Amino acid sequence: MAIKSIRKNLETLQEIYSNNLTVGLIAEELSACSPEDDALTIKFQMEKLDFDYYGVAIDGKIIGYIIQSELNEGLISHYMHTFQMEDLVSESTSLLELLLILRERHPVFILESNRINKLITVADLQKQPIRMLVFGLISILEMNLVELIMDYYPNEQWKNRLSANRINEAMNLFHIRKEKNAGLGLIDCLQLSDKGMIVQKTPDLLEKLELHSRREAKQFFNRIEELRNNTAHSQEYVYNDFNEFLDIIVRIERVLSC
């Protein structure tokens, strides 16, 4: 397949993952109480349900929210936060945009037409659609790396950047796939770490991908591998450190835009 065609396919896939996975896939319904309710009673209900946030509604329309940890004696109205513009996101907001928004503030509330009935907290980022987004971005990154390596190293000259052992591993996989009529090239049989190693040993690719040293590149690919492994196993958390998770997603997006 021509490089131009590969690039177009990559852009199409990136658009699918960036724009078509939206916040509605992970948003939760926002339970609500009345401004005249007793705060300690509502606090008990929230603790029982393990809810950190409740909406506050008048005549069925949510006009604000409360935070469980702030509740004490008195009426709910004493603890209500009114919605600010920065608290709200459109129902059409992509999950990728959401990640960047949550880096600055959370929770966020979903504006559907002129009503607010849903919210998203950081805990919702462990859900399956986020795994799909992350795994998809990493897969697109791998495809992008293959394109760059093939373009920079025609006729499989990239082999000179890998050890004999890694080449043999790729060759073994290539022959297995060939026997099953899987029409893939040898480069498609490399592991992500192999592609990362080629990048690390190619100063021009480091510069193109805005990776400022071999050490930085090694850390980048190690973090991606860990993140991919976490997303592939549903019993694992997608991430352990929220800010580190967002950093790597932002970095993947930056590399894909290079």
Q: Is 91 a domain residue?
A: yes
Does residue 20 fall inside a structural domain? no
Q: Say yes or no to pLDDT of 144 above 70.
A: yes
pLDDT at 199: 96
Residues 46-72: what's their mean pLDDT?
Answer: 96
Q: Are residues 43 and 144 in the same domain?
A: no
Vertex 44 angle, CA 40 and 46, to 5°: 115
Q: Which of 121, 153, 169 is the last residue of a domain?
A: 121
Residue 208 lies in a domain: yes
User: What span, in angstroms and rounded, lies between the C-alpha atoms of 168 and 68?
Assistant: 58
Q: How confident is the model at residue 145 (pLDDT cuts 50, 70, 90)?
A: very high
Domain coverage including residue 191:
128-256
Beta bridge partners of 116: 111
At 152 the three-state DSSP class reads helix
Instruction: State how far the Cα of 62 lies from the Cα of 45, in Å rounded to an integer.
Output: 18
pLDDT in tens, 211-251: 999 999 999 999 998 888 888 766 567 777 788 888 888 88
Q: Is residue 1 part of a domain?
A: no
Residue 183 pLDDT: 64
Do 43 and 110 lie in a common domain? yes
Q: Per the domain annotation, does 6 fall within a domain?
A: no
pLDDT score, position 253: 81
Among candidate residues 143, 189, 153, the one with its CA nearest the CA of residue 169: 189
Mean pLDDT is lowest, of 2-11, 72-81, 158-167, for: 2-11
Which one, of 206, 216, 172, 214, lies nearest residue 191 by Cα?
172
Residues 148 and 108 in one domain: no
Please indicate, yes or no, whether residues 238 and 133 belong to a single structural domain of this protein: yes
104/182 same-domain check = no
Number of domains the chain is built from: 2
C-alpha to C-alpha distance for 146 and 140, rounded to whole angstroms = 10
Q: What pLDDT sits at residue 152? A: 93
